Amino acid sequence: MNAEDTLNECRDRIDDVDRRILTLLNERTEIVTVIARVKAEAQLPVYEPKREEEVFRNIANGNRGPLSNDAAKRIFERIIDEMRKFQRERMAQRGAKLGDPVGGKSGEGTAC
C-alpha cells in the first residue's frame, strides 16, 4: 500500500469515528433537553460548577490515552459550553417558567 492509499484509509476511518462521535453528541444533547426541562420546572440554574468538575474528574479517571488529560478536559470544556448554551436556548424558547416545561408538554420525554 502506498502513502496515498494509507492516508485515504486513515481518513475514511476518521470520518467513521467522527460520525460516531456526532451520534454520541446528539444523544448527549437529547439528555440535556430533559435536564433543561427539569431545571426550568424546578427553577434551577443552568451552570453547576460542582457537576462540571465531576465530569472532568470522570474524564480524567477514564482516560487511557494517548490523548492527555489536559487535552481531554479542553475538549469537554467546549462540549459542556455548547450544552450549557443549548440548555439556555431551550429554556428561553419555552419561557423557562413553571408550568411551561422545556421540550414539550408536561410529562413528555424520558427521565435520565
CATH numbers and ranges of domains, the chain: 3-93 (1.20.59.10)
CA count, 13 A, side-chain hemisphere, 96: 16
Tell whether the model's pLDDT for residue 84 goes beyond 70. Answer: yes
Tell whether the model's pLDDT for residue 108 goes beyond 90. Answer: no
35 burial level (CB within 10 Å; 0-12, 13-18, 19+) = buried
Tell whether the model's pLDDT for residue 22 goes beyond 50. Answer: yes
pTM (two decimals): 0.81
More confident residue, 49 or 107: 49
**pLDDT per residue over 34-72, tens digit each?**
999 999 989 899 999 999 999 999 999 999 999 999 999
